[in-house]
Amino acid sequence: MNTPIPVLTIDGPSGSGKGTVSRAVAQKLGWHFLDSGAIYRSLAIAVLRAGIPVENVDEIVALAENMNLSFTTDDPPEVLLNGQDIAGEIGSETCGNAASRIAAFGPVRQALLEKQRSFRRPPGLVADGRDMGTVVFQDAGYKVFLTASAEVRALRRYKQLKDKGLDVNLINLTREIEERDRRDLERKEAPLVMAKDAVRIDSSDLDIQQVIERVFGVVASPTG
Ligand code: DC
């Protein structure tokens, strides 16, 4: 019998620390890494550039099917959309909000499914997102749901953006994060929910190193 390629899924809301933790764990395990949010964000950039309204599902799906997306193995990676480096734009709140809006459409999610699954290659994959454990890699052997309070998440995001030299307002940021959470949680298609077989880790009072250690604990004792 073929042994499936192992997958560790790390789902959770924005600002929970998923990105940093997933990357670090993938590096330590020597596994591939999928930042599925970056796929939605790249599509959002393509949509905004093409001037397509964010509710025009048919055109967004057509764009998703035709976009040529690649990630380099640098840390952080360069993201190439149709050959152009979009790493500078991908982290903005405008892009994150547009990504969250287009991600609410079932056909858009469907169009991105195979692209995400193609990241599952030996020796293993760490997949970061919202529906990695519930939809994309339902059969994953290791599942984590990483969360933190909305205040802590807004503050972390605030510091990140400030460090990048961006002019941000904590109150507006908190409001935007809550709005994005609501959209991701309440949407009909693949909403942000914890997989039944996931281990919940609340990172509000933990530092990154402590979270990484807990995630390793999950890999040491598989779910399911
Ligand atoms: O993780 P992120 O902030 O880069 O994701 C940006 C948006 O993309 C997020 O608000 C919702 C959407 N997304 C999703 O719907 N499913 C995923 N697996 C990853 C991201």
92 against 27, higher pLDDT: 27
Question: Could you tell me the pTM of the whole model?
Answer: 0.90
Q: Which of 125, 145, 133, 138 is nearest to 18 (CA)?
A: 145
Every domain of the chain and the residues it spans? 7-219
Choose one of 11, 22, 100 to mutate for the ligand 1 pocket test, by most ligand atoms within 8 angstroms of C-beta: 100
115 with 50: CB under 8 angstroms?
no
CA atoms of 43 and 98, how far apart (whole Å): 9
* CATH 3.40.50.300, domain 7-219, yes or no: yes
105 with 57: CB under 8 angstroms?
yes
Report the nearest-CA residue for atom 12 of ligand 1.
100
Choose one of 21, 36, 178 to mutate for the ligand 1 pocket test, by most ligand atoms within 8 angstroms of C-beta: 36
CA atoms of 10 and 21, how far apart (whole Å): 9
Q: Is the Cβ atom of 16 under 6 angstroms away from ligand 1?
A: no
Amino acid in position 187: R
Express each pLDDT in 106-143 by its tens digit.
Answer: 999 999 999 999 999 999 999 999 999 999 999 999 99
- The pLDDT score that the predictor gives to residue 191 is 85
Examine residue 191 and say whether the peptide bond preceding it is cis (omega within 30 degrees of 0). Answer: no
Q: Is the pLDDT of residue 46 over 60?
A: yes
Q: Is the Cβ atom of 109 under 6 angstroms away from ligand 1?
A: no
179 against 51, higher pLDDT: 51
Mean pLDDT of the chain: 91
Q: Is the Cβ atom of 176 under 6 angstroms away from ligand 1?
A: no
Express each pLDDT in 54-97 by its tens digit.
Answer: 999 999 999 999 999 988 767 777 889 999 999 889 988 889 88
Q: How much of the chain exceeds pLDDT 70, in percent?
A: 97
